[in-house]
């Protein structure tokens, strides 16, 4: 593994690090192994003496808290590392005649940071990802790898011997990258062409420079929307001008319980001037990602991303409720920044204020108990707010988007899922269609609000037609 393919976990396991501060773990510790489990969480397994102790009293299982527990490591050369968010979950003591007795402890780690040099020297950043598939996309740029090997063998060199030498080189090129310039950042999205046994769909984003966590998160979430799948972050590595590692961070990944690896990619819009469905073009891909990043804070896309991808991996009976909630959150964020768009009140504030005081007076004079009076007054807080369907139609009308008949019916039925109404037997396909209709409606709204594209992909109709944003999905 070459230096630009190494994340923080590899640095620890390949180095000579020792635990200098065990934090909440049982100590003294004789050795350890750091790895990722099947859920991509960082797991530390330590080997300690059988009489190892800890001074930390673990809170009862299920306790809600911010876990700030630390474990510190150091290497002979002075390099340091820190494990944060240590949560021990298994302690066993083994006794045997052939093997040394030991206390083994397993702990989940939130984050690992390794510092090898002055972070101020960093010139490049590689962000490590899972769920970045090579296929079915047609990527616009290539990655070429040249590997050279040289072998020299000396025989009886001090006694008139001879030296044998040989060299070989390998050349590999694949079309699996895209260069983008987004929010002033130059970056290269790279899907890994060969996948190891520990990789699901390994990939990376290579940045020129050292953008902070927030900028990378915005770009990563925008790419997820654009390409139609959730990118799972593993961590990042910083490099100097000569591609020597300066520092590295690995994190326990969140992959929606690995459900995010199952769905097929569903880009929001067609991303190429060519007719191939999954063709990626520099111009359209850059335009979409840049537009989403530019509107990230205004539309609260960080939280919307969370809602959208959970909806996309939810089961059919509840997914329409999740997509409905995501649409409501999107339109609310948009209305806050565009107060003159969307019908958010039935009566103007001044007119409603007088009517509310009148109704309050009637409630106060009624011959009912105080609890019921309080409950009725509580209901008044939302009575001037139009139904969500009215708000949605007014927002769509202001944006020039037509709500189709099929989408309108799916919007009405989303409440069935939210209130636990079972799917009638034989109506399963209709429920799946509702889920796709609501997802498509969210896509249309997001693309129009951000001016990220002028078309969307209709995943409801067979053949996945490309339609203009103003045109709804046909009813049949």
pTM over 0.85: yes
Give every residue of the chain whose pLDDT is below 50, as ranges: 1, 195-199
- Give the count of alpha carbons within 13 A of 22, CB side only: 22
Q: Which tokens hold the place of 167?
A: 């060299």
7, 218, 353, 355 from 376: Cα distances, Å: 59, 43, 16, 15
Cross-sheet strand order for the sheet of 102-109: 27-36, 42-53, 102-109, 87-94
**pLDDT, tens digit, 9 for 90 and up, residues 47-92:** 999 999 998 887 887 888 899 999 999 998 889 999 999 999 999 9
Q: Which tokens hold the place of 183?
A: 């929010």
Residue 199 confidence (pLDDT): 47
- Please state the separation of Cα 336 from the chain's center in Å: 25
Q: If we measure between CA atoms, which residue out of 10, 40, 25, 14 comes closest to residue 70?
A: 25
- Please state the separation of Cα 268 from the chain's center in Å: 16
> Which residues fall within 8 angstroms of residue 468, CB to CB, at 6 or more apart?
454, 455
**pLDDT, tens digit, 9 for 90 and up, residues 257-306:** 788 888 889 999 999 988 888 899 999 999 999 999 999 999 999 999 99
Domain boundaries, the chain: 3-115, 119-285, 295-344+386-468
Residue 198 confidence (pLDDT): 45
Distance separating alpha carbons of residues 52 and 94, to the nearest angstrom:
13
Residue 155 confidence (pLDDT): 74
């Amino acid at each position: 593994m070459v230096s630009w393919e190494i994340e923080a976990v590899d640095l620890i396991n390949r180095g000579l690090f020792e635990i200098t501060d065990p934090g909440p773990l049982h100590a003294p510790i004789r050795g350890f192994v750091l790895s990722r489990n099947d859920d991509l969480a960082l797991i530390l397994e330590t080997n300690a003496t059988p009489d190892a102790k800890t001074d930390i009293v673990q809170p009862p299982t299920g306790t809600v808290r911010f876990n700030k527990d630390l474990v510190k490591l150091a290497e002979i050369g002075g390099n340091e590392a820190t494990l944060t968010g240590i949560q021990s979950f298994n302690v066993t003591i083994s006794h045997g005649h052939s093997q040394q007795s030991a206390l083994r402890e397993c702990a989940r780690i939130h984050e690992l940071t390794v510092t090898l040099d002055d972070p101020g020297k960093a010139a490049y950043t590689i962000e490590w990802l899972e769920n970045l598939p090579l296929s079915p996309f047609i990527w616009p740029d290539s990655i070429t790898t040249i590997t050279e090997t040289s072998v020299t063998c000396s025989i009886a060199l001090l006694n008139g011997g001879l030296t044998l030498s040989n060299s070989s080189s390998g050349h590999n090129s694949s079309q699996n990258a895209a260069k983008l310039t987004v929010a002033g950042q130059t970056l290269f999205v790279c899907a890994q062409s060969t996948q190891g046994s520990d990789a699901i769909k390994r990939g990376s984003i290579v940045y020129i420079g050292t953008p902070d966590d927030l900028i990378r998160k915005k770009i990563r979430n925008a790419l997820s929307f654009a390409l139609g799948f959730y990118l799972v972050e593993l961590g990042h590595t910083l490099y100097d001008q000569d591609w020597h590692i300066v520092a590295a961070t690995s994190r326990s990944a969140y992959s929606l319980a690995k459900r995010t690896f199952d769905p097929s990619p569903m880009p929001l819009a067609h991303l190429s001037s060519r007719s191939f469905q999954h063709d990626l073009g520099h111009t359209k891909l850059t335009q979409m990602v840049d537009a989403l990043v530019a509107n990230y804070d205004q539309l609260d896309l960080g939280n919307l991303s969370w809602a959208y991808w959970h909806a996309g991996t939810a089961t059919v009976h509840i997914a329409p409720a999740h997509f409905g909630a995501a649409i409501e959150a999107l339109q609310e964020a948009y209305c806050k920044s565009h107060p003159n768009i969307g019908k958010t009140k039935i009566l103007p504030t001044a007119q409603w204020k007088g009517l509310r005081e009148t109704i309050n007076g009637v409630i106060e004079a009624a011959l009912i108990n105080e609890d019921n009076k309080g409950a009725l007054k509580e209901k008044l807080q939302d009575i001037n707010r139009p139904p969500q369907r009215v708000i949605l139609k007014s927002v769509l009308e202001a944006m020039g988007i037509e709500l189709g008949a099929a989408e309108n019916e799916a919007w009405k039925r989303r409440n069935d899922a939210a209130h636990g109404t079972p799917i009638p037997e034989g109506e399963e396909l209709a429920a799946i269609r509702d889920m796709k209709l609501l997802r498509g409606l969210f896509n249309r709204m997001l693309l129009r609000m951000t001016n990220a594209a002028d078309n969307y992909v209709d995943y409801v109709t067979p053949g996945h037609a490309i339609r203009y944003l103003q045109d709804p999905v046909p009813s049949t």
